[in-house]
């Protein structure tokens, strides 16, 4: 019976979400996008039939109305103007991860049930009015029995079950979208959703968030001017997390930073270097570095919070990333192109030289200019147009890295409109390559240019393998759920009911295309 009702449940959810998107005018852009599959474009028209659409699309309003999981995906899309367009990205930036708070009675019940203790046995006092109410959890200020001021983060009751239901439908919709082939298949929406599911699972266990904060604090211990709050492990479990209270100025409050005498250009540079230190040196980075999660102390120290979303890249990918950044910084587009081919991100039947020329067309206009003179949207649009031209598949394991890089650049530009990202990142990347790979890196570079020499000294090659691993390379893909497609459900006889169901599912076309496939 479940095999029959399960698709109808997904169709119902998608139809409801699609109608919400239509009422907010959020399907118009997908219809007009030349990369939208024809089947999807037709279904867009069906989804908005009879809906009164506003003159200007309100993507943020639509995503907020759909629910917590859509809010999370909408925030990710806000950093991707290359995919959704600059107007849509600008609109999505207003999508704040805040919802009406749940009653304190429910919060008290959640805390007491998770610890099997009365609230008074944990905290001397706790403010009933939350200081923040996001889609997954809300935060209250409290004082411990020992007199320390802390922030208490509590999961919203029932949020695990709601997200599980929505993500189940994401997987179903992604499988049908990918089955259309073409651009939808290249973007690998099923793998994107598989990664999103894992990221969300981490956010739903506050012990893992606490552990991430502790691990990152260790990794950044030697970085001056960046700190993380301490964890109160005795008052932390899967549903409740207690951390030191952060008193500071929001990093987005430019007037307050100026009034406090903070050197904003120095702060912008520190922010960029903090991210590069995490991503390239540690391979473990704060992947939710938006303005609401960063504060500035009186001495200019950056204090970060909210570590539910973390990114991790192995050493091979870090070397790959460092060489790409350094290649773009120095204008060595040939080397950047070679790295993409070595990592097998670009199929071997394409020309390395042609790919290098395409990279030059995007990279040269950026070099030596402040970010204020560049359109990040246009730059990313150019880069992703190249990936389409050269049949480069989406790499979901790098999505968090891409998303965070755009976030950091946006914040750095607000702090210092004249910052040059290349000049800021170049010395760090060059130093890391030199210190991490050592003199053998130069030897390896010469070896790559001389295949015959490489063949003559295999002993040296073996010595280099550990210190200079192969570039890039996506990690093994996670197992994907077996999703029967509606048009394959009948082995014989009339199949038209399956096609009708697929057509109805298209009522959430933007949800299936924009949120799922085009996220990559």
Tokens at 493, concatenated: 């006889």
What is the rounded CA–CA span in Å between residue 396 and residue 279? 16
Question: What are 273's two structure tokens?
Answer: 């270097």
The conformation of residue 470, written as its DSSP 8-state character, comes to P
Residue appearing with tokens 């199929």? 347
> Are the beta carbons of 159 and 68 closer than 8 angstroms?
yes
Q: From the centroid of its chain, how far is CA 137?
A: 19
Given the residues 288, 306, 381, 416, the one annotated as active site: 288
Distances in Å between the Cα of 297 and the Cα atoms of 49, 248, 301, 374 are 53, 5, 5, 30
Cross-strand bridge partners of residue 130: none
b/e per residue 472-507 (b: at least 16 CB within 10 A): bbbeeeeeeeebeebeeeeeeeeeeebeebbbbbbb
- 247 included as an active-site residue: no
- The torsion region of residue 391 among left (phi > 0), alpha (psi -120 to 50) and beta comes to left
DSSP classification of residue 516:
I
Beta bridge partners of 103: none
Encoded tokens for 202: 């981490």
> Could you give the residue ranges of the DSSP H alpha helices within 331-479?
333-342, 352-363, 376-389, 399-415, 421-437, 440-449, 451-456, 458-467
Residue 289: partners with Cβ closer than 8 Å, 6 or more residues away: 275, 304, 404, 407, 408, 411
Determine contact, residues 283/314, Cβ cutoff 8 Å.
Answer: yes
Taking 3-state DSSP, the helix, strand and coil percentages for the chain, each rounded to the nearest 5, stand at 60, 10, 30
First to last CA, the chain: 35
Beta carbons of 493 and 2 less than 8 angstroms apart: no
CB neighbour list of residue 274: distance below 8 Å, 6 or more residues apart: 220, 223, 225, 226, 302
For the chain, count helices (H), then strands (E): 25, 11
C-beta separation of 443 from 288 below 8 A: no
β-bridge pairing 302-304 and 294-296: antiparallel
Phi, psi of 491 (to 5 degrees): -80, -20
In angstroms, the CA 307 to CA 213 distance is 6
The closest of 387, 414, 389 to 398, measured between CA atoms, is 387
On whether the CB atoms of residues 388 and 186 are closer than 8 A, the answer is: yes
What is the set of active-site residues?
Answer: 288
């Amino acid at each position: 019976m479940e095999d029959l009702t399960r698709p109808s449940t997904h169709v119902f959810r998608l139809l409801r979400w699609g109608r919400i998107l239509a009422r907010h005018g959020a399907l118009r852009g997908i219809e007009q996008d030349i990369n939208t599959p024809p089947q999807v474009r037709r279904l867009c028209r069906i989804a908005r039939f009879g809906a009164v659409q506003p003159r200007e699309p309100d993507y943020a309003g639509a995503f907020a109305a759909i629910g917590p999981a859509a809010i999370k995906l909408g925030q990710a899309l806000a950093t991707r103007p290359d995919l959704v367009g600059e107007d849509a990205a600008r609109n999505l930036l207003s999508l704040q991860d805040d919802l009406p708070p749940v009653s304190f009675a429910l919060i008290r019940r959640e805390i007491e049930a998770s610890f099997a203790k009365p609230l008074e046995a944990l905290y001397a006092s706790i403010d009933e009015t939350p200081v923040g109410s996001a889609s997954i959890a809300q935060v209250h200020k409290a004082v411990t029995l020992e007199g320390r001021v802390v922030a208490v983060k509590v999961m919203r009751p029932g949020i695990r079950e709601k997200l599980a239901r929505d993500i189940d439908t994401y997987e179903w919709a992604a499988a049908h979208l990918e089955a259309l082939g073409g651009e939808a298949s290249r973007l690998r929406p099923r793998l994107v959703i598989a990664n999103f599911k894992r990221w969300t699972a981490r956010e739903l266990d506050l012990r893992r968030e606490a552990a991430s904060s502790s691990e990152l604090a260790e990794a950044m211990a030697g970085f001056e001017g960046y700190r993380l709050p301490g964890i109160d492990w005795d008052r932390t479990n899967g549903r409740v997390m207690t951390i030191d209270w952060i008193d500071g100025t929001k990093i987005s409050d430019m007037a307050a930073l100026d009034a406090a005498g903070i050197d904003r250009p120095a702060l912008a540079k520190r922010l960029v270097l903090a991210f590069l230190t995490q991503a390239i040196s540690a391979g473990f980075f704060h992947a939710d570095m938006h303005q609401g999660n960063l504060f500035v102390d009186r001495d200019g120290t950056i204090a970060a919070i909210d570590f539910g979303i973390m990114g991790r890249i192995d050493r091979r990918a870090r070397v790959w990333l460092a060489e790409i950044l350094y290649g773009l910084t120095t204008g060595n587009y040939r080397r950047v192109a070679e790295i993409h081919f070595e990592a097998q991100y670009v199929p071997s039947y394409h020309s390395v030289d042609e790919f290098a020329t395409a990279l030059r067309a995007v990279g040269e206009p950026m070099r030596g200019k402040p970010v204020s003179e560049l359109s990040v949207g246009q730059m990313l649009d150019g880069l992703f147009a190249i990936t389409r031209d050269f049949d480069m598949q989406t790499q979901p394991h790098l999505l968090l890295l891409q998303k965070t890089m755009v976030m950091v650049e946006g914040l750095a530009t607000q702090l210092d409109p004249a910052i040059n990202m290349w000049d800021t990142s170049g010395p760090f990347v060059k130093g890391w390559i030199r210190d991490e790979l050592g003199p053998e890196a130069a030897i390896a570079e010469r070896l790559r240019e001389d295949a015959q020499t490489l063949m003559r000294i295999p002993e040296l090659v073996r010595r280099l393998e550990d210190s200079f691993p192969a570039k890039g390379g996506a990690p093994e893909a996670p197992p994907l759920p077996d999703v029967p497609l509606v048009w394959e459900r009948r082995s014989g006889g009339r199949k038209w009911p399956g096609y009708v169901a697929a057509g109805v599912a298209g009522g959430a076309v933007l949800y299936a295309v924009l949120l799922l496939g085009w996220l990559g």
